[in-house]
Amino acid sequence: MIKLAISGCQGRMGQRITELALYDKIFKISALLENKNRPDVLLLSQNIPVNFEDTALKGSDVLIEFTTPEATIAHLKSCQKYGVNMVIGTTGFTRAQITQIKKASSKIAIVFSSNMSVGVNLVFGLIRQAAQITGRDYAITLSETHHVHKKDAPSGTAKTMAELAEQYAKTMVKDIESIREGEVIGDHTITFESPVDLISIHHHAKTRDIFAQGSLVAAKFLSKKKKGLFDMQDVLGLKK
């Protein structure tokens, strides 16, 4: 049994991760964390006590984190202190913060990914293949759309798509368009265009469950790790 802690338990992702974990017998929810400064914070979530102090992490095996960069880095320090592995789905980190995450992986095991979705990670693989073949002969553009509540732009997923395309095509992405409207969960499209054709790879997220389910798959993966930095490509065995 995996003792699972969930940060931001009353946020959209936190609530859904909690619900799905309760249905999976391999997990036992050991701690639910929330920001005490939230005006709408409740003392119970799914009839489980909500904690405001990181000491609640003690005894957990894995923490799933979909919050803010600042909260994630604070919990990163506590997880090192208590020996708790981390699944980090938070985006919007600075380079210095990413360096902190990488450094922490020498002490605990971390799955750090801009997108926890199985489908999106399959798309990452397709981008690698397309970029390798098209190379400098194609202009690359990206567009992504998310709900109006999303703070970072471009999204972490779009940044990863661009990094992969540039790495394997050996050319720069021409443009990244970021749109924030309505309650769109996540749409990402990358195009490779030449004078004679256009190749488009698109992913549409129907529900947030794709991220919640992926984070639980990552938590199971980490339950067998002592330390190290991994991403969802490692979790899913997609790396060559």
146 labelled catalytic: yes
Of 3, 58, 150, 225, which one is the catalytic site residue?
150
Q: Is 28 a catalytic residue?
A: no
Exactly one of 75, 146, 159, 203 is catalytic; name it: 146
Give 56-61 contacts, CB < 8 A, sequence gap 24+.
56/5, 56/31, 57/5, 57/31, 57/33, 57/82, 57/84, 58/82, 59/3, 59/30, 60/3, 60/4, 60/5, 60/30, 60/31, 60/84, 61/2, 61/3, 61/4, 61/30, 61/85, 61/222, 61/223
| Positive or negative: CA dihedral 52, 55, 57, 60 | negative
- DSSP 8-state assignment for residue 85: E
Catalytically active residues are 146, 150
